[in-house]
Structure 1
Amino acid sequence: MSTTEATSYYSSLLSSSSTTTAAATTESSSSTSSLTSEDFLTLLLAEIENQDPTEPLDNAEMVSQLTGYSQLDQLTAINEKLGDLTDSLGSVTASNSLSYIGKTVEAEGSTISKSEEEISPLGFTLGDDASSVTVNVYNSSGDIVATDTFSNLEEGGHTYQWDGLDADGDAAADGIYSVIITAQGGTGADVDVTTTASGVVTGLSSDSDGVTLTLDDGRTVKLTDVISVTA
């Protein structure tokens, strides 16, 4: 094996290892093309032993190869530590969230729950005075079930209470519904509207998107969306 061939072989493996590290979540991360420290030393020794005496291995090139592998090894270690840190933080967050169970939370949200005659209210806040406010209630299929309109509401907090009837005046099925509220000012300009859901936390779950709290009426809110907590 000539110096050129050994260098070319080493470079191709180093490139393959870099690609594998960058895509650590794919199957290639565990493939045999990953360059370990033992592989690197074996290749380097083979390169030195098989070098052309008339063209010995350049010191600068050797330093460059050693530096390249060292940086790659450090980046791999950093990626692994960051992954461990992320997992640890997720576990700590989920553990701390247990203290929310049994408490009433208010969180950013736009869902209401209907169970026979019990219908959860939805809080909403207007960023300015509104001459007209439209509330659309949607079922799980994305269809509008009911629409309510209000006039001349002042800036600030309000509560929407659905009567549970659909557009035909019949009782809607029990379940979780989504609500979208829009508002316009006196000049016809849109008014900002934010909605909040409240309820007692009865459970929680944790996944890659974070911690989700389950309320007593079946609705769910993200822990990061919680605005206030009361005992």
Structure 2
Amino acid sequence: METVSGSSPLDNIRWQQENNTPEAEENRGMLTQADFFALLTQELSNQDPTKPVENNEMISQMTAFSTTDGVTKLNDQFTSFAASMSSSQALQASSLVGRSVLVEDNVFGMEEGQSVKGKLVTDQPASNVNIYVENVAGEIIQTVPVGNVASGEFTFTWDGQGSNGEPAPEGAYRFRVAGLVEGNASELQAMTYRKVDSVTLAGSGGSILLNLNGGSTMKLSDVVEVSQG
């Protein structure tokens, strides 16, 4: 008498169905290079012998697929590169906290007892140059005589004191630089160094923003100079 071991055929079929791993959802509908060559082989095996596929047509199909595959890989590489650049910029921006950056603006905020550094820019020689420190009301708090300057950029520092020798109160101020250029009264460009209080890693448009003392912000890409103080 024969003895039959194991499950019934129906059980075997059910077991096979349950253990059949479905294809990953993200891979469905995507043709790989192996799929392309399988289709090409199938096409060649079923072609009309009297109308064979031209060599240039076959090469064109292979080139088109290779180009598409290459562009896809290139896009993936660019995505990875962009993510790496963002991480690098975030690390660079975080290292600026507590340091000063040059801003193309003559307005700045100051705490009492603090000194402020600025930069005078002129493309022509000037004489009788004075740096005026003004408050928000336009009142002159301090006047710093400079004298004659050649064309170029010159760094200066205001010690935070008014003309009376007392520390200026906390608030907003601006540098105004005036002198004679070719004998005519002119205002020269003044820029300021502003301390970075914090960094916003995902600002407007996805750019990295530096939050400066005084409440203003600037893009990391707009930084032209960094100072220790």
Normalised-by-shorter TM-score class = 0.5 to 0.7
Shift, 1:85, TM fit? 0.7
Cα deviations by residue, 1:170-198 (Å, 9 ceiling, x for unpaired): xxxx8899x9989984187x99x664331
Matches within 5 A, 1:71-220: 71-102=67-98, 104-110=99-105, 112-113=107-108, 123-130=119-126, 154-155=149-150, 156-157=153-154, 185-186=181-182, 195-207=190-202, 210-220=207-217
CA distance in 2, matches of 1:157, 1:219: 24
**Offset at 1:154?**
2.5
Structure 2 gaps of 5+ residues are 1-27, 130-136, 141-146, 159-170
Q: Which has the higher helix share?
A: 1
Q: Percent identity?
A: 24
Of 220, 226, 229, which residue of structure 1 is paired with 2:227? 229
Residue 91 (structure 1) shift? 0.9
The structural deviation recorded for 1:204 is 0.9
> Is the alpha carbon distance of 1:211 and 1:83 closer, same or farther for their aligned partners in structure 2, counting shifts above 3 Å?
same
Q: Secondary structure at the match of 2:120?
A: strand
CA positional deviation for 1:70 = 0.8
Structure 1 residue matching 2:209: 3-state secondary structure:
strand
1:203 CA drift (Å): 0.5
AA aligned to 1:213 is L
DSSP 3-state at the match of 1:110: coil
Report the number of matched residues.
173
What is the match of residue 58 of structure 1? 54
Q: Decide which of 41, 44, 51 is 2:40's aligned counterpart.
A: 44
Aligned to 1:100, the other structure's residue is in SS state: coil
Q: Distance in 2 between matches of 1:187 and 1:50?
A: 91
Query: How far has the Cα of 1:110 moved from its partner?
Result: 1.7
| Aligned-residue offset at 1:131 | 6.6
State the TM-score, normalized to the length of structure 1.
0.52
Does the aligned pair in 2 maintain the 1:214–1:220 contact within 8 Å? yes
1:68 partnered with 2:50: no
**Which one has the largest radius of gyration?**
2
The root-mean-square deviation of aligned C-alpha atoms, in Å, is 4.8
Contact 2:108–2:194, Cα closer than 8 Å, also in 1: no
The one-letter code of the counterpart of 1:112 is V
SS of match in other structure, 2:87: helix
Cα deviation 1:75-104 (Å, max 9, x = unaligned): 2201210121111111122123222212x3
Residue 229 of structure 1 aligns with an amino acid whose one-letter code is: S
Partner in structure 2 of residue 25 of structure 1: none
Change (3 A) 1:114 1:92: closer
- Structure 1 unaligned runs (5+)? 1-31, 134-144, 162-173
